[in-house]
Amino acid sequence: MRCRSRRLCFASGARSPQPGAPYTYVTTKNFLSLFGLDTLRQLPDLEALEDTGLLSKQKLLAGDIPAGLVGGAGDAEEGPEDNVVEDQMS
């Protein structure tokens, strides 16, 4: 299961006009569809991912990022902006 392009699953989000404001990214409807989700609230939290062995907070903090999560080919393709999902996570 993969997005053909990162642009089909993720899009640029809002950014404050203030200096030093971080870039944000949002998921698209394609992302939700790919994983069979109706809302981002259905995603597991970090604790659940750690409990199943799918994620290690210590490795992420140490910069040990899996190869599939770093940038690569296919990032330049544009996706439709109306496909953006901005679900509030708390």
Model confidence pLDDT, tens digit, residues 38-72 = 998 998 888 888 888 888 878 778 877 665 555 54
pLDDT of 82 strictly over 50? yes
Determine the structural domain holding residue 33 and report its residue range.
1-12+24-66+82-86
Residue 76 lies in a domain: no
- How far is Cα 22 from Cα 78, in angstroms, rounded to an integer? 21
CA-based angle 5:11:13, to the nearest 5? 165
Residue 74 lies in a domain: no
CA–centroid distance for 19 within its chain: 24
CA–centroid distance for 46 within its chain: 14
How many structural domains compose the chain?
1
Token pair for 3 = 């997005």
Residue 77 lies in a domain: no
Residue 52 lies in a domain: yes
Give the pLDDT score at 1: 53
